[in-house]
Amino acid sequence: MSEICENWTEWLKKNRFAGQTPEMIEQTTKWLETVRDVILLYAEIEPNDVVLDIGTGTGLLAFKALEMQNCKGKVIFSDKFPDCLNDCQRILDQSCVTEGYQMLLCPCEHIALPESSVHKALMRSVLVHIVNKQPAICEVYRVLKPGGKFCAFEPIIRSNTRYWEILDPKYIDKYEDFKRVENEIMENPLDSLCNFDEKTLKMNLQIAGFSIPEVKVQEVKSNYIVQDNMVSAWFNNPPSPDQPSTKERYLKYFDEATVNKFIQDIQNYLTGREINLKSNAVFITAVK
């Protein structure tokens, strides 16, 4: 069964992490595995549990849960994007796994499962992509059995190191304008990436009905040397298939030539430099 996670790691290297340095791939993979292991530790999965991985994406949580159960329960891979489920299915096929799981195509705001039907609900970096988080959290509560646990990880994007903090104004045209706009973007109440924090999440959980929810804050740090292709990826790769890229966010404030110049200035200044970034993230545990 350990072959599942080995195949998952190889898939990440060839697809999601293509173009990154080996050191960055190793650093990110280890971080993902640590996040996964903490969530599953809190979940306390039993062999015959029905486990729902909401917004499974690449299957980070679901594959490990399947290995932990040794196919003696059921792990539900749930996502609203067919491509995500197809990739997970290919990894399972490659690993010759034929039982103990289910693929479920649906958004997390409308989980296509009966009320009180799962023992454990898992999630990683899903609420960050939903503008109105309350209906999604209420859906998690609905599908859990009484006594069932919800365990999740979410990045608090509004606490991220911002571009203007790692740049020198002398080398960036219109630095003050972009600083103002970046701060506005990061504080936009209608942007799902940054319209929440640990306090609002705890309130969402309480409104849904969870008893004594825990939202534990963890500071996340990283440092690396910026490579030639990284800055372009920061601005042009969307955080998810239905989210605008950072460049598209800036285009709401500036014309394309101005944004392109800003990106080029950042690339010229940061390429070859070591940067230190930090953010906060939260681990959620809540019982129905």
pLDDT in tens, 57-104: 889 999 999 999 886 889 999 999 898 899 999 999 998 999 999 999
pLDDT in tens, 11-58: 555 656 655 677 777 888 888 899 999 999 999 999 899 999 999 988
Residue 254 has pLDDT above 50, yes or no: yes
pLDDT at residue 1, as a whole number = 45
SS3 221: strand
pLDDT in tens, 97-120: 999 999 999 999 999 999 999 999
pTM: 0.89
8 Å CB contact between 132 and 262: no
Give the separation between CA 144 and CA 116, rounded to whole angstroms. 5
**Beta carbons within 8 Å of 46's beta carbon, 6+ residues apart:** 73, 119
